Amino acid sequence: MSKIRLLLVDDHEIVRAGLRMLFLAEPDMEIVGEAGGGADAIRAVADLHPDVVLMDVAMPGMNGIEATRRIKEANPETAILALTMYEDEQYFFEMLNAGASGYIPKRAAPDDLVSAIRVVSQGNVFLYASLARFLLNEVLPTHDAKAGDSLTEELTPREREVLTHIAEGKTNREIADVLIISPKTVDRHRENIMQKLNLHSRVELVKYAISRGLIRVE
């Protein structure tokens, strides 16, 4: 029986080193390559044709979801096992939709990981216990909005108001019209907000606002 050929994809060298150590102890598995990002992963799959790709989901640049989609498109026989820090419903479905054959968190026991690799290498599907509930539970009402934090102390009420409008997508001009103040004043508030939070673009502001629950997406 030939060994299961593995490709490791994770942007953290430390994580890959840990996985290398882990698979040294498995005589029926060998690591044939590594990639630090989605684009590298696609090239590596094309070059090496691994049996199983261990794919991190969240990576800078091309993330694991997109990389998975493209690998499966070009190489359907390659099994992809999502290995992630996030036990998140959205990621879970996105990865399966992209073509992943398995989903396992990084906190899982090593035995579970090697077991998952054997399963997906045969074309079967492995889902970690904590993720399985997503299949049947549909939507979990886990909307525990934790309000009141550093934001309340760092920003003034007016600044929070301006930040909310910015996060909603309004321009300075539009915000000025709503608040009945000068566009320059809105700009002034925006500057102060960015300075306080050490952010440097509207995109960063909107992500900050979302993370603090100031606005809600969709």
Partner DNA sequence: ATCTTTGTGGGGCGAATCCCCCATACGCGA
Partner DNA sequence: TCGCGTATGGGGGATTCGCCCCACAAAGAT
**Number of residues engaging a second copy in binding (CB under 8 A):** 71
Tell me 2's DSSP state.
P
| Stretch 118-157 residues interacting with DNA (CB under 7 A) | 156-157
Instruction: Check residue 179 for interaction with DNA (CB under 7 A).
Output: yes
| Stretch 126-185 residues interacting with a second copy (CB under 8 A) | 126-129, 131-132, 135-136, 138-140, 143-144, 147-149, 152, 157, 160-161, 164-169, 171, 178
Instruction: Find which of a second copy, DNA, none residue 116 binds, CB within 5 to 8 Å per kind.
Output: a second copy
Rounded Cα gap, residues 141 and 144, in angstroms: 8
- Phi and psi dihedrals of 128, rounded to 5? -70, 150
Residue 91, classed as helix, strand or coil, is helix
Instruction: Check residue 187 for interaction with DNA (CB under 7 A).
Output: yes
**Number of residues engaging DNA in binding (CB under 7 A):** 23
CA separation (Å) from 3 to 32, 100, 211? 10, 21, 44
Instruction: Check residue 182 for interaction with DNA (CB under 7 A).
Output: yes
Q: Which residue type is seen at 112?
A: D
First CA to last CA across the chain, in angstroms? 50
Instruction: Check residue 194 for interaction with a second copy (CB under 8 A).
Output: no
Integer Rg of the chain from CA: 22
Asked if 164 and 170 touch (Cβ cutoff 8 Å), the reply is no
Contacts of 150 (CB under 8 A, 6+ apart): none
Shortest separation between residue 212's beta carbon and DNA, angstroms: 17
Tell me 37's DSSP state.
S
Return the range that interacts with DNA (CB under 7 A); candidates 29-37, 87-95, 99-107, 186-194. Answer: 186-194
Residue 194, classed as helix, strand or coil, is helix
Q: Which of 29, 35, 83, 96 binds a second copy (CB under 8 A)?
A: 96
| Stretch 34-73 residues interacting with a second copy (CB under 8 A) | 58, 60-63, 65-66, 69-70
Q: Which residue type is seen at 158?
A: R
Return the range that interacts with DNA (CB under 7 A); candidates 10-18, 22-30, 117-125, 173-181. Answer: 173-181
Instruction: Find which of DNA, a second copy, none residue 48 binds, CB within 5 to 8 Å per kind.
Output: none
- Give the nearer residue to DNA in terms of CB position, either 4 or 71: 71
Which residues lie near DNA (CB under 7 A)? 156-159, 171-173, 179, 181-185, 187-191, 194, 200-203
